[in-house]
Structure 1
Amino acid sequence: MTPITDWREVIGELRAHGGSRAVLTEPEAQTITRALGIGLPRMTVVATADEASGVDLPGERLVVKAVGPAHKTELGGVRVAANSPAAIVNAVRLIAASAAGTTPESFLVAEFVDHDPADEVLAGVRWTDAFGPVVSIGPGGVTAGLGLAPAIVARATSDRIDATLASAPGTRSLTEGSRGTRAVARPSQLAALAVDLLTLGETTMPHDLVEFEINPLVFTSAGAIALDALAVLGRGKADTPRRPPPPEGILQQLRPRSIAVIGVSERMNPGRVILHNLLAAGFPADRIAVIKPGVTVVDGCRAVPSLSALDEPVDLLVVALTASAVPELMDEVIASGFARSVILIPGGLGERPGTEPEARRLAESIATARRAGRSAPVVTGPNSMGIRSVPGSYDATFIPAERMTPAPAKGAPLALIAQSGAFTLSRLDRLPWLRPRYVVTVGNQLDLTIGNYLDHFAGDPEVAIVACYLEGFRPGDGDRMLRAAARLRARGGVLIWYRGGRTVAGARSAATHTAAVASDDAVARALGETVGILTADSLDDFDDLLRLAVLLHQKAHTGRRLAVVSNAGFECVAAADNLGTLELTEFAPATRSRLVEILDNAGLGGITGVGNPLDLTPSAGDEAFAAAAEAALDDPGVDLAVIGCVPFTPELRTLPADVDDPGSLPGRLAALAGHRTPWVAVVDGGRRYDPMAGEIEEAGVPVIRSMDRAIRLVAKFAITRQRGAGG
């Protein structure tokens, strides 16, 4: 018989002998289970069929398993046998015969725990570079991962374990039952299990372990019993934690008192465009220095021949040189301390094959300086499009102003952070009315990451919404983002993110684009939802969620009771089909009476009736339509509303020539923008009706161009805000 030792001894023994095996055997993994205080079947390990004949365990049946493959059931490596020497020996031989020429080194024989397969639970913890240890609990057995989504818990969401278990479909089915099945565990049991697994992860990962999983786990009258376990060895030593950039560095970068630009040409190259944009944004010329030998003035700004010729360190250095010139320049910046923050514009450093070592060397140089207590600059990029800062009165991007749709003077309390400059430009041009307070393109995140910026903006009272496009997380950045998003949400703000690289092909494209490593989408989505992050599943969703967040952020969101008003029957059906967690409220008697009067006065009483959704039909004119919409918004039982218009009917004044008239439907709906009830407009028409949509949106009402999409995103918006606020 082979004794089963303590799991720490198992790991130490494997490392001492220099073994290459990363996956522990089940008997080895089960020692971790025992250390967690979880029950085990009585078991023993045998090397041969002859040895199996001497097994002495209780019960009428026993379980015989091959010691080795993780998916033993699918490979024929598990047999249930009668508790007799002949049956056990036969089971061992059958397993050996099904091993396809790779005879198992040993066999595990364990007592049979009688249970319903529907009661099986999966519980595990694995290391992720983005979030640290992540716990998963859900339905188990051979169907694990194929049905209801499990609960996902990480360090940053450990204060919300009970709420997470109650909301995840997989754990809710375990504690409440589903489809006629009974509950298999109490919420308190799953919560205690989640805490223990998270503690295991924080204690052992990634140095000793990178993954530990129990599947299946069953809850019996005697307590929890683990019927199988898997563990994967870790890296042997803990990584040195990355020293965070100094917080004052980001503040100096976003609100600099002085700026220097290097890479300005006589022609209109990126450096020259950046200089023009800085001046156009209002940054004083006497506080801009151009590093350019051979001249003394460029566009009214002082020019100096080198970095060392500056009178004093600048708050921000913008580098628009070629990638090959960056390492030498950055070595000088780090050594001299002549810049407190840097934006690296050039691409090709870190994402282009062969440049990774130089990028790592630069990152390490910055880290070494910080560890030594020297004032290394904070660095954005490389491969950054630049930064715009309204509070800092500067635009350090290299896109000429004439290439973009002009933005209004008044902006939104929004910070837009993205790994992709092209993504950023598309959003700013499609939604020019946004005019974010900050636009940050992080590029390859050599130093400053999206998480660093989000952490900064979460503490900025002038920023209520942060929108992020990311193609992967830097180590620890997922955890950092979750914590910052929770802080932002706690003061009434919201984070919207779109994550590229969620598929294998997308991850490969992202890695070649900005040297990112894609994260596990299911984990990121679940953890994001826990802290109230709005996840955009498409680029169009990102735009429309931005509309909702920016234009509705000052309005109270108290519930999910919805009113829908439209002049088209198909929109009413589409609304009812896409409610999700929303509910169509019943109008109050006073509202119903008011709507009846509106319909009768418009001659519609014999055509349609009062309901929710309220179908006004194409016969409703401007006045009746707007009056009905206002009545729905006034109803005390309505928490939010979607008001849709199919604009083709001649009864409505919706053409471009009509929109400036306050008596037209666009004018009347725009006048309702300040209503206390948050609402969204739908204009389901082509380009001819863009002016109508623009008139309503410019008044402050989000406009989404189809009813089903509007309802779906409003439902996501409502539930995410409530989940993030409720914990």
Structure 2
Amino acid sequence: MFIENEISFEAISTLFSNADNEGRDFLYEYEVYNLLANSGAETPPASILLPRGARFSDEELTSLPGDKAVLKIVSPTIIHKTEVGGVRIVKKEPAKIRSAVRAMMYEVPENYAAYIERNPEHGPEEYKGLYGEALVKAISRDLRGVLQVQFMPPDSDSFGNELIVGLRRTREFGTVISAGLGGTDTELYAERFRKGQAIVAASVDMVDGHSFFQLFRNTISYKKLAGLTRGQRRIVTDEQLIECFDSFIEMGKYFSPTNKDSGFVIDELEINPFAFTEYLMVPLDGMCRFSRTGQKPQGRPVNKIHNLLHPKKIGIIGVSSTRRNFGRIILDNVLAAGYAQEDVVIIRDGCEEVDGVRCVPSLDALEEQLDLFVVAIAAQHVPDLVDQIIELDAAKSVMLIPGGMGETEESKERAEQIITRINKKHSEDDGGPVFIGANCMGVISRPGGYDTWFIPEEKLPKDRNSKYQRSALISQSGAFMVFRTSQCPELDPAYMISMGNQTDLTLGDMVHYFKDSPEVDVIAVYAEGFNDLDGLEFCRAVRQAVMNGKEVVFYKAGRTPEGKTATSGHTASLAGDYMVCESCVQQAGAIVARTFQEFQDLFMLAEKLNGKKICGDRLAAVSGAGFEAVGMADSIQSDDYDIELAKFSIDSQEQINEILENNKLKSLVTIQNPLDLTPGSTDRIHSSVAEILVNDPTVDSIVIGLDPLSPSMHTLAEPTIPAFSIEDENAIGNLLIKIVQNSDKPVLAVVDGGRLYDPLRDKLLANGVPVFPVCDRAVAAIALYSKARMKAEVIQLTRGCD
């Protein structure tokens, strides 16, 4: 295991300081090798800087080991040296070295100038507007010299034997580490290979060398380096890789935007590639950019989220007394949720009451501080109102409903003014109020007894007396929550929170709150973008929530360039690199959905299966329809998951065989997995098989198709033939509910039929049975869910080791 004190952070800081004193925000390649020499990882090859114009003796030029010398141009502007003739290998003879250096000092500027003129979009900013001889002279002027490096021949030149390892500062997640297939085609590999096959990445705060190595083991790069492909031999040990990863991770943590004591931040550190010779990791090229640490972000009094979600006094501004504007609809919904009229006050001049709720003319007329103040006025009036709220200390939490504050370029200045005022107050006394929004749909808090959504009851009827789930849905998009609520009323979370633009409170703040909430076991999050470094705070909160035994389901919008543009326009937050986001959140322990439908399915599973045990990924697939059995078998693998079909125990096979014989189905059914029971199987046969498999130690989860159209099944709510009724005590719904309630294992039902079978679905869902309309969705959902739950259990086990 890597020992932290082997890294000389002081020596590395000196490298940054010396470069900074010269006005540079980067290290030259020889300085990167010096950094590696102080990193506690593999020692880099020996090298000598040959400064421009300097003279060297024959002894100095031949002082490095080996019979060849590698010569590399040293320039602050030339990143890709090979393409412009900036790398040469010559015999280690003084005359050969001198000749090559002279040639490079003339040819490289000419080659690089020609490249820039062909590709002006790739030219450095300092060369903009220069052409011909002027450009060549500018490039030549910037050449610092040539770096002579010890030649260390790699063990193999075949594909996959070069490794890239790097650190990168990201806006949302702080410093991330990445590793994978190295060389000049790294970007092509990452684009063309399956996800996670070419490059893997993770937040340095979420992994150590060993856990990152476990991610790396899944890459093609590891399989090649470890000699796991045909005709390949191992060229590096696992321990070397772990030591290298540990070193980069510790440097990333220390020189991080979250460590204000380091003095410097590594913006980018990349070794591409590491080659391998005689079990040594040899860096063949390296670059590093850095910056000085910035100001510490202003903290928020997040304890006041409790006032936001469980207010004793609510105020609303923007309520019309004559029409159903947004403010009036919000008032209607607050009262319809059962919130007491006497605990609500409306800020409205010239009116004594609206719908029995008392009005006061202004904020300074309030008799006491509000727990929650809902702002539903026009956006142009919000900045002045925020000033007044802060000055009067009128509320502990504020909900900003209006948009027009940061969603567009034109409104960003207004949003920045508001944020500045809020942050200034956060730095004083008790921190002032917390703000949710702007561009916020509102909040439904069943434990808090209120609903501030501005959707009329006629458009979105709610069963306000239903038993809500122990879950919270946190979404940047209010519309996303409205659509999910309309389509899937069975989800029915305890809290539904629209975050809007995250002017103040962030996604990370909300998960931090719910990680300790006694009301919530499941946290579901729809994210479009994170504020600066809030992606990292979000991941930390997810990790703590998982350690506390909670489940977090996550969907991130903005995975394509077009999606990033759309989310940026909607939320006023930049959508970050999706691969980095997905990896960081998964490493934190969240269940990551790839589609809206999958998010919905996984959220439902988390609610229904939170109390069930996940012992493995061995699936039993059962159906009375042949296509469904085949469909389940075809759905056990994808790029993102795999689940195996269980091999039933001998005891289970014998019991199933007896049932088939007793029902004269033996000749029609082969006992295998998936198990096709044929349409002739009754409710009792389906449930008996399910019960056998629930007790089978070789089975971890069950997906069972209920074959609702079969004449042998009781699957209709109001049938003309009583034999089809779901109310029969032997109907599959009643039988399966008992099995699920008595089982620790996940049992998922598939009801593949039209609207006639909605009552059966509703009955099963209401009694804790997860139901899917098609079998492949059920298999994908339980596979992803099982994988995430097992990872969460590993994270929880580390709690005692911290």
Q: Normalising by the residue count of structure 2, what TM-score does the alignment of the two structures yield?
A: 0.84
Deviation, 1:358, is 2.4
The residue that corresponds to 1:674 in the other structure is: 741
| Equivalent residue letter for 2:629 | C
Q: Distance in 1 between matches of 2:339 and 2:533?
A: 35
Contact 2:205/2:253, CA 8 A, preserved across alignment = no
- Residue aligning to 1:253: 308
Q: How does 1:310-709 map to 2 (within 5 A)?
A: 310-407=366-463, 409-580=466-637, 581-655=642-716, 657=719, 658=724, 660-662=726-728, 663-676=730-743, 677-709=745-777
1:194/1:11 CA distance change after superposition, 3 Å: same
Partner Cα distance (1:142, 1:618) in 2:
58
C-alpha separation between the residues in 2 aligned to 1:305 and 1:396?
22
Which stretch has the larger CA shift, 71-80 or 696-705?
A: 71-80
How far, CA to CA, are the matches of 1:646 and 1:182 in structure 2? 52
- Of stretches 490-499 and 638-647 in structure 1, the one that deviates more from structure 2 is 638-647
| Alpha-carbon spacing, 1:223–1:688, altered in 2? closer, same or farther (3 Å) | same
Residue 721 of structure 1 is aligned with which of 765, 772, 789?
789
Note the C-alpha offset of 1:673: 3.0
Counterparts of 1:235-246 in structure 2, within 5 Å, are: 236=292, 238-246=293-301
Residues 647 and 683 in structure 1, CA contact (< 8 A), matched pair in contact too: yes
Match runs of 1:81-480 below 5 Å: 81-85=90-94, 87-88=96-97, 93=103, 96=108, 98-99=111-112, 101=114, 105=143, 106-115=145-154, 116-117=156-157, 118-144=160-186, 146=189, 147=193, 148-158=197-207, 161-168=209-216, 169-170=218-219, 173=223, 176-180=226-230, 181-206=232-257, 207-218=264-275, 223-234=280-291, 236=292, 238-266=293-321, 267-407=323-463, 409-480=466-537
Change (3 A) 1:155 1:216: closer
Using the TM superposition, give the Cα deviation of residue 564 of structure 1 relative to its aligned residue in structure 2, in angstroms.
0.9
**Mean alpha-carbon deviation: is it higher for 552-561 or for 142-151?**
142-151
For residues 536 and 224 of structure 2, the distance between their equivalents in structure 1, rounded to whole angstroms, comes to: 28
- What SS does structure 1 have at the residue aligned with 2:324? coil
Please state how far the C-alpha of 1:444 moved relative to its aligned partner.
Answer: 0.5
Distance 1:79 1:675, change over 3 A: farther
Amino acid at match of 2:162: E
Residue 561 of structure 1: CA displacement? 1.9
Q: How many angstroms apart in 2 are the aligned matches of 1:52 and 1:73?
A: 25
Separation in 2, partners of 1:654, 1:51: 92
**Is 1:35 matched up with 2:42?**
no
Q: Provide the secondary structure at the position in 2 that maps to 1:343.
A: strand
**DSSP-derived class of the 1:401 partner:** coil
Which amino acid letter does the alignment assign opposite residue 244 of structure 1? G
Distance 1:571 1:296, change over 3 A: same
How far apart in 2 are the matches of 1:252 and 1:569? 55
Amino acid at match of 1:135: I
SS in structure 2 of the partner of residue 108 of structure 1: strand
Q: Which moved more, 1:376-385 or 1:394-403?
A: 394-403
Q: Tell me the amino acid that sits aligned with residue 587 of structure 1.
A: F
Deviation string, structure 1 residues 390-433 (Cα, Å, up to 9, x no partner): 11111111111221143361011110101100001011111112
Q: Against the structure 1 CA distance between its residues 468 and 584, is the aligned structure 2 distance closer, same or farther, given a 3 Å change threshold?
A: same
Query: Separation in 2 of the partners of 1:422 and 1:527?
Result: 26
Q: 1:644 to 1:179 in 2, by over 3 A?
A: farther
For the residues of structure 1 that align with 2:98 and 2:761, how far apart are their CA atoms? 77
One-letter amino acid of the counterpart of residue 253, structure 2? E
Relative distance call for 1:227 and 1:167 in structure 2 (3 A) is same
Percent identical residues: 34
Match of 1:25 in 2: 28
Change over 3 Å in CA distance of 1:373–1:569 after alignment to 2: same
Cα contact 1:659–1:666 (8 A) shared by 2: no
Mark the runs of 5 or more structure 1 residues left unpaired by the alignment: none
Cα separation, 2, equivalents of 1:202 and 1:587: 48
CA contact (8 A) 2:237 2:279 kept: no
Q: 1:126–1:133: 8 Å Cα contact kept in structure 2?
A: yes
Shift of 1:344: 0.3
Cα separation, 2, equivalents of 1:640 and 1:301: 53
Greater CA drift, 401-410 or 532-541: 401-410
Superposed displacement of residue 688, structure 1: 4.1
Which residue of the partner structure matches residue 7 of structure 2? none
Tell whether the 8 Å contact from 1:415 to 1:466 is kept in structure 2 after alignment. Answer: yes
Does 2:778 align with 1:710?
A: yes
Secondary structure of the structure 1 residue equivalent to 2:517: coil
Cα deviations by residue, 1:143-193 (Å, 9 ceiling, x for unpaired): 4352524443424314x5423322441375377543233444444433333
Deviation at 1:664, TM superposition (A): 3.5
The more displaced of 453-462 and 123-132 is: 123-132
Matches of 1:631 and 1:90 in 2, distance apart? 82
Question: Separation in 2 of the partners of 1:473 and 1:259?
Answer: 29
CA distance in 1, matches of 2:671, 2:279: 58
1:116-139: per-residue Cα shift (whole Å, max 9, x none)?
244432222111222221122333
Contact 1:659 1:695 in 2 (8 A): no
When residues 29 and 167 of structure 1 are mapped into structure 2, their CA distance, relative to the original with a 3 A threshold, is closer
For the residue of structure 2 that corresponds to 1:110, the secondary structure is strand
C-alpha RMSD over aligned residues: 2.7
Shift of 1:98: 4.5
Aligned pairs for 1:48-87 (under 5 A) are 55-56=61-62, 57-68=64-75, 69-74=78-83, 76-85=85-94, 87=96
> How much has 1:88 moved relative to structure 2?
4.4
Structure 1, residues 567-593: CA drift from partner, whole Å, max 9, x if none? Answer: 233333333333244222222222111
Q: Identify the range of structure 1 (430-439 vs 85-94) with the bigger mean alpha-carbon deviation.
A: 85-94
Rounded to whole Å, the distance in 2 between the matches of 1:285 and 1:527 is 45
Structure 1 residue 489: deviation in Å?
Answer: 1.3
CA offsets, 1:512-560, max 9 Å, x none?
Answer: 1010111221112112222221111110110111111111111111222
Question: SS at 1:315's partner residue?
Answer: strand
SS at match of 1:142: coil
- C-alpha deviations, 1:701-720, integer Å up to 9, x for none? 11222222322221111111
Taking the aligned partners of 2:684 and 2:360, their CA distance within structure 1 comes to 66
Q: 1:486 to 1:149 in 2, by over 3 A?
A: farther
